[in-house]
Structure 1
Amino acid sequence: MTVPIPGPPRPTDPRGPDPRAAVAAAMAGLDALAERPLAEHVDAYERVHTALGDALAAGSA
C-alpha cells in the first residue's frame, strides 16, 4: 500500500489549483493597508474575505 506524501499538489493534480496559493495571494492584499486611506480598508477586507471563502470551498471539494 502506498501512502500519499502531503504537500502542494502537482500541476497535473486532478484536484485543481492549490487553495493555499489563493490564500497567500488574498493575504498579500492586506500588505501596506495601514498606509492606505481608511475608506479603502473595507473594500480590501471584503476582497480578502471573499478570496478566503472561495479557497475554503475549493479545499473541501
Structure 2
Amino acid sequence: MTVPVPGDPRPAAARPLAAVRADVEAALAALDEVSGRPAAEHVAAFERVHAALGAALTAGSTSY
C-alpha cells in the first residue's frame, strides 16, 4: 500500500486549502486498504498515513 505524500513544491503559505483537503482525503482513503492487508503490515501503514496527515495539516496551517 502506498500513501500519497503531499508533493506540492510551493511553500506552505502558497498551498490552497483545496490542495490540503485533497492530501488529507488521499491519506484517509489509504486507511481503507489496511483491512485487506496482513496485521503485520498495519503499523507501517498507519505510520505512513499519520506522516501524510501531519505533512498535509502542517502545509495548510498557514493557508487559513
TM-score interval (norm. to shorter): 0.5 to 0.7
Do residues 21 (structure 1) and 17 (structure 2) align?
Answer: no
- Which consecutive unaligned segments of at least 5 residues does structure 2 have? 1-12
TM-score using structure 1 length: 0.67
* 1:16 counterpart letter in structure 2: R
- Which consecutive unaligned segments of at least 5 residues does structure 1 have? 1-13
TM-score using structure 2 length: 0.65
Counterparts of residues 1-61 of structure 1 (less than 5 Å) = 15-17=14-16, 18-61=19-62
Structure with the bigger percentage of helix: 2
State the secondary structure of the residue aligned to 1:31.
Answer: helix
Q: How many residues align?
A: 48
Give the fraction of aligned pairs with identical amino acids, expressed as a percent.
Answer: 58
Equivalent residue for 2:5? none
